Amino acid sequence: MGVVADRWRPAWADIDLDAVRHNAGILSRLVAPAALCAVVKADGYGHGDLAVAKAALEGGATWLAVALVEEGVALREAGIEAPILLLSEPPVGGMAEAVARRLVPTVYTAGGLEALSRVVAEAELPSVAVHLKVDTGMHRVGADPADALALADAIAADHRLELGAVWTHLAVADGDDPDDRDFTALQLDRFDTIVGALTAAGHRPPMTHVANTAGTIGVAASRHDMVRCGLALYGMTPTPALASALSDATGGLRLEPVLSLRSRVTHVRDLATGERPSYGRRRPLAVHSTVATVPVGYADGVPRRLFDQGGEVLIGGARRPLAGVVTMDQIVVDCGPVGSAPVALGDEVVLIGRQGTEEITAGEWAELLGTISYEVLCNIGPRVPRILHGQHPDPSS
Ligand SMILES: *Cc1c(COP(=O)(O)O)cnc(C)c1O
């Protein structure tokens, strides 16, 4: 990562691995007999990919998925034996490593198949199962439906390759307006047509998979043989409606957020009415106020715009607004009129997570900032140490 997590600054992310097990358990029971593939790309959405991968497997996932060959290699080097799906076709330069590490390659181009076949031959390995991805409307990566049959023919004609699965990805499974629902139905129809044509031509795939978190929860017909869940594993749904849908489908079960971003008060001042803390002197204090400084900033993934958008933190079990703009390494918090609620050096500050009966979620930040919880989580930087809770001892050690 290039940045060593700090040891003395009190700012950290607690990662609740029991919550990962709980979430994986809910998802795997919901979709059974379909399998759960735990998506741990981008360092497990910022939570730590290895710890999350292990906990997800313990909780009921049987597959893992990553975006990069590099991510899959790191999991193999750490001793993970479960199947690891690469969500995009590996770059030609990474094919040999992908095959040597038994990563399951996604393919969607003739060139990708040729490169794969070549590295299998050079390494004198047994045949490799590939997951053929078709584009049914997301238009990011995947084979044109018109090319799917030729690609399946090429796989069948090459004794070094096998068809392990056919899959696609949904673009608007989280949308609940009629246009989005229609588009998801259209994608599912197109996918069925492609799989039907391949099967009729003698290329029956052993497995098909389609659903991300939104599809898994909201579109039962998208579950197929395996679901690829990221966000739900981390305890969140793309929309509040999907949290309700999950609760309805499971007799009231709820996902548990996995990550909490916490810090401590490192400086406290009483400031006169009208003083304007932080860069830009943006907002005057309405009254003689206590202002606390907390050592976490935009370099750690607390967006600078959180101040403008009314961002709050929890101190002493209460919501407290930011008193000025977020700086690179620190924030200032308006703790209210002097004497109203004592704030002391060392008091715990929750940026994301629970304190007492209050909770601030990554979804709340996303709502304020006009983004999605995925981006909030991925932006929590490498300078923030991840403290793992609920780790099971490694049976091999
Ligand atoms: C990231 C990703 C997923 C997981 O999406 P979530 O919404 O986090 O569940 C699934 N499939 C593909 C192809 C992805 O890139």
82-119 pLDDT, tens digit per residue, is 999 999 999 999 999 999 999 999 999 999 999 999 99
| Ligand 1 pocket residue status of 213, Cβ below 6 Å | yes
- Check if 39 has its Cβ closer than 6 Å to any atom of ligand 1: yes
Please indicate whether residue 386, judged by its CB atom, sits closer than 6 Å to ligand 1.
no
How far, in Å, from the CA of 39 to the mean position of ligand 1? 7
47 CA distance to ligand 1 middle (Å): 16
What's the CA-to-centroid distance between 229 and ligand 1, angstroms? 6
Average of per-residue pLDDT across 20-39: 98
Residue extent(s) of CATH 2.40.37.10 domains in the chain: 259-371
Residue 316 predicted with pLDDT over 60: yes
pLDDT for the residue 396: 59
The DSSP bridge pattern shows strands 106-107 and 348-355 to be unpaired
* pLDDT tier at 168, thresholds 50, 70, 90: very high
Q: 216 in ligand 1 pocket by Cβ < 6 Å?
A: no
Cis preceding-peptide flag for 33 (omega within 30 of 0): yes
Q: What percent of the chain has pLDDT over 90?
A: 95
Does ligand 1 lie within 6 Å of residue 168's CB atom? no
Does the pTM surpass 0.85? The reply is yes
Fold classification of 17-237 (topology level): TIM Barrel (3.20.20)
Is the Cβ–Cβ distance between 108 and 97 less than 8 Å? Answer: no
Question: Closest ligand 1 atom to the C-alpha of 212?
Answer: 9
Ligand 1 touching residue 142 (CB < 6 A):
no
- The CATH classification number of 259-371 equals 2.40.37.10
- Residue 213 C-alpha to ligand 1 middle, in angstroms? 7
Closest ligand 1 atom to 39 CA: 4
Q: In terms of C-beta density within 10 A (0-12 exposed, 13-18 middle, 19 or more buried), how is residue 243 classed? A: middle
The CATH 3.20.20.10 portion of the chain extends over: 17-237
Q: What is the mean pLDDT of the chain?
A: 96
Residue 49 pLDDT greater than 70, yes or no: yes
Per-residue pLDDT, 7: 83
Dist. CA 238 → ligand 1 center (Å): 11
Query: Does ligand 1 lie within 6 Å of residue 229's CB atom?
Result: yes
- Give 5's pLDDT tier (boundaries 50, 70, 90): low
Structure tokens at 23: 């979430």
Q: What is the predicted pLDDT for the residue at 322?
A: 98
Residue 368 has pLDDT above 90, yes or no: yes
**Active centre residues (catalytic):** 41, 279
Query: Ligand 1, residues 224, 228, 246, 258: which to mutate, most atoms within 8 A of Cβ?
Result: 228
